[in-house]
Chains A and B, each alone.
Chain A
Amino acid sequence: EVQLVESGGGLVQPGGSLRLSCAASGFTFISYWMHWVRQAPGKGLVWVSRINSDGTGTSYADSVKGRFTISRDNAENTLYLQMSSLRDEDTAVYYCTRDSYYYDAFDIWGQGTMVTVSS
């Protein structure tokens, strides 16, 4: 079964750091570009970041550029999001999602992990 499972969310103080993980299974992870998308409570989806298949190319939303770092370990089939200098407005459910190999869209989504930034 094709699956993405996020972990690492939790409560963190403003200015703190957190690393999210996304374990992939059921498909050839190294072949796919991957993304992080977030959703604040009661709000819409927001694209956060993307990484290419071998990890050499990344892009970020302006709102997280310089604070978040996306990476991957293809040997471990795992995607990461290192978050630092966290702000209240970073509070959200963070989803990892797969970029379809055959077309431009997010075809597989994890269940999400909640990050709460609060003092």
Chain B
Amino acid sequence: QSTLTQPASVSGSPGQSITISCTGTSSDVGGYNYVSWYQQHPGKAPKLMIYEVSNRPSGVSNRFSGSKSGNTASLTISGLQAEDEADYYCSSYTTSSTYVFGTGTKVTVL
């Protein structure tokens, strides 16, 4: 089981939009609409931000949105705020009936 590929870091100024990519294969990201995204602040547990590619759980800001094309999923944060500075991980269900996470992306608000 390999990991999904994410950029190591992405940065943006307050108010800007950024996009984080998550690239897998047809056995995971490309094969199912079961991609989710998690935010993790230092020393804290992960928090679900997006489920099933593009859906937001109750309580998550609508500044967060998700999409998918082929084997690549994306998380977009619009109107970037200081509190968005964190690590972000994608995850996908796989054909092996297991799950795989992405390598993680550190978001920095300049």
Binding site for B on A (CB under 8 A): 35, 37, 44-47, 50, 59-63, 95, 97, 100, 103-107, 109-112
* Residues of B within 8 A of A (CB-CB), count: 26
Interface set, chain B 1-48, CB cutoff 8 A to A: 1, 3, 34, 36, 38, 40, 45-48
Q: How far is the CA of A86 from the CA of B57 in the complex (A)?
A: 36
Binding site for A on B (CB under 8 A): 1, 3, 34, 36, 38, 40, 45-48, 51-52, 55, 57, 89, 91, 93, 96-104
Q: How far is the CA of A107 from the CA of B59 in the complex (A)?
A: 12
B48, B89, B91: which contacts A107 (Cβ < 8 A)?
B48
A110 / chain B contacts, CB cutoff of 8 Å: 45
B91 / chain A contacts, CB cutoff of 8 Å: 45, 47, 105-106
Once the chains bind, are B57 and A35 in contact (CB under 8 Å)?
Answer: no
Beyond A106-B91, A107-B48, A109-B45, 19 additional pairs, beta carbon < 8 A? A35-B99, A37-B46, A44-B104, A45-B40, A45-B89, A45-B101, A45-B104, A47-B99, A59-B96, A59-B97, A59-B98, A103-B51, A104-B93, A105-B51, A105-B91, A106-B48, A107-B51, A109-B46, A110-B45
Once the chains bind, are B34 and A104 in contact (CB under 8 Å)?
Answer: yes
Once the chains bind, are A47 and B100 in contact (CB under 8 Å)?
Answer: yes
Minimal Cβ-Cβ distance residue in A for B4: A44
B101 / chain A contacts, CB cutoff of 8 Å: 37, 44-47
A47 / chain B contacts, CB cutoff of 8 Å: 1, 91, 98-101
Once the chains bind, are A44 and B89 in contact (CB under 8 Å)?
Answer: yes
Q: Chain A's nearest CB lies how many Å from the CB of B90?
A: 10
A61 / chain B contacts, CB cutoff of 8 Å: 1, 98
Q: Chain B's nearest CB lies how many Å from the CB of A63?
A: 8
Once the chains bind, are A44 and B45 in contact (CB under 8 Å)?
Answer: no
A35 / chain B contacts, CB cutoff of 8 Å: 99
Q: How far is the CA of A63 from the CA of B45 in the complex (A)?
A: 22
Q: How far is the CA of A105 from the CA of B93 in the complex (A)?
A: 9
A59 / chain B contacts, CB cutoff of 8 Å: 96-98
B3, B40, B52: which contacts A104 (Cβ < 8 A)?
B52
